[in-house]
Amino acid sequence: MKIKYLFFSLIFSILYMSKSAAQYLPLYKNIPNYIDAINEEVITNDGILRIGKVSIPGYQYFRAANDTIKRPCVIICPGGGYGILAASHEGTDVATFFNTIGVNAIVLKYRIPSKAHQVNKSIAPLQDAQQAIYMARTNANEWGIDANKIGIMGFSAGGHLASTAATHFEDVKVTNPINTSYRPDFQILIYPVISFTSYGHKGSRDNLIGPVISEDQVHYFSNEEHINKNAPPAFLVHAKDDGAVPVANSINYYKQLQENQVASELYLFEKGGHGFGMKNNTSEVFWPKLMHEWLLKNNITNQ
């Protein structure tokens, strides 16, 4: 089984690198909280595709199969410190893996916080995540999605965005004309930024709510403080030697989930640092296999 998962990981990282730069579809008809300024988006690729200065959000939909079966769907938020999006190894590569296990996926190109492009830069990424959930729910029949199995996933700062969506789903930042639920049905967080307190990630914090930081904003975006019994089930992965985003982020979030009796699982690598994507080369453990087992165990997928 391990060989099969490693094979999938290698093949998809090669075959889908070009697709990661494909055209994203518009996330909105009319972008909320938007200042009409020059689009300065920039794409670089040195083996990892990075998208910077995103002011016009979009998405790519990866459907597991073109049939009538309703399958789970995961909305994937790449990391990048709220400064760029690591759109391939924390985005499209992950989406193609999900397709191999019968799960649909949406890769979210969320906005990079910018006072030049947003009236309130601190809520722009959350608006985009909530809009992606809205799109998945309202298009579920057409897109082959099980509307009761829509989850959110994030890496690093994308993990902060995903955990914000998972803990602030009652604080809707976009229009909700048909009273759609914005609560993700599950959350998957990979070396996530969780807190904006002392053990959080200063770069992500400053990019999202800086340069002037208020205590109210620090507490609002410290997601370990907002977990209750209604939080979605969670799967987390982190390396103990992560020098960029301390492992305390995942540990403290997991502890709060456990205290509130929310089904959750945390896997800690001894080594691996930060930003390893789907494969931590310091370990033989392939964490997507563990995630797949968790999805099966929690009846999110049966494939």
CA 192 to chain centre: 9
Predicted local distance difference test score (pLDDT) of residue 271: 98
| DSSP-assigned letter for residue 278 | T
Strands 49-52, 42-45: pairing kind = antiparallel
Predicted local distance difference test score (pLDDT) of residue 20: 45
Side-chain-side CA neighbours of 107 within 13 Å: the count stands at 28
Instruction: Compute the distance between CA of residue 253 and CA of residue 268 in angstroms, rounded to an integer.
Output: 13
Task: List the chain pLDDT tens, one digit each, 303 residues.
Answer: 555 555 554 444 444 444 444 589 999 999 999 999 999 999 999 999 999 999 999 999 999 999 999 999 999 999 999 999 999 999 999 999 999 999 999 999 999 999 999 999 999 999 999 999 999 999 999 999 999 999 999 999 999 999 999 999 999 999 998 999 999 999 999 999 999 999 999 999 999 999 999 999 999 999 999 999 999 999 999 999 999 999 999 999 999 999 999 999 999 999 999 999 999 999 999 999 999 999 999 999 998
Answer whether 15's CB lies under 8 Å from 7's CB: no
Instruction: Compute the distance between CA of residue 283 and CA of residue 295 in angstroms, rounded to an integer.
Output: 22
Answer whether 19's CB lies under 8 Å from 94's CB: no
Instruction: Compute the distance between CA of residue 155 and CA of residue 194 in angstroms, rounded to an integer.
Output: 11
Predicted local distance difference test score (pLDDT) of residue 8: 52
At residue 120, what is the residue type? N
Answer whether 185's CB lies under 8 Å from 169's CB: no
Predicted local distance difference test score (pLDDT) of residue 13: 44
Annotated domain spans of the chain = 2-297
User: What is the residue whose two structure tokens read 């392939």?
Assistant: 286
User: What is the residue whose two structure tokens read 């789970």?
Assistant: 72
CB atoms within 10 A of CB 11: 13
Sheet holding 25-26, edge to edge: 25-26, 58-62, 104-109, 71-77, 145-155, 187-190, 234-239, 264-269
Sheet holding 49-52, edge to edge: 42-45, 49-52, 84-86
List Cα–Cα distances, 112 to 134, 141, 239, 270, 296, in angstroms. 20, 31, 26, 32, 34
The token pair that represents 166 in the structure block: 């998972």
The architecture of the domain spanning 2-297 is 3-Layer(aba) Sandwich (3.40)
Strands 104-109, 58-62: pairing kind = antiparallel
Predicted local distance difference test score (pLDDT) of residue 246: 98
The token pair that represents 35 in the structure block: 């200042």
Q: What's the residue count for the chain?
A: 303
Answer whether 177's CB lies under 8 Å from 135's CB: no
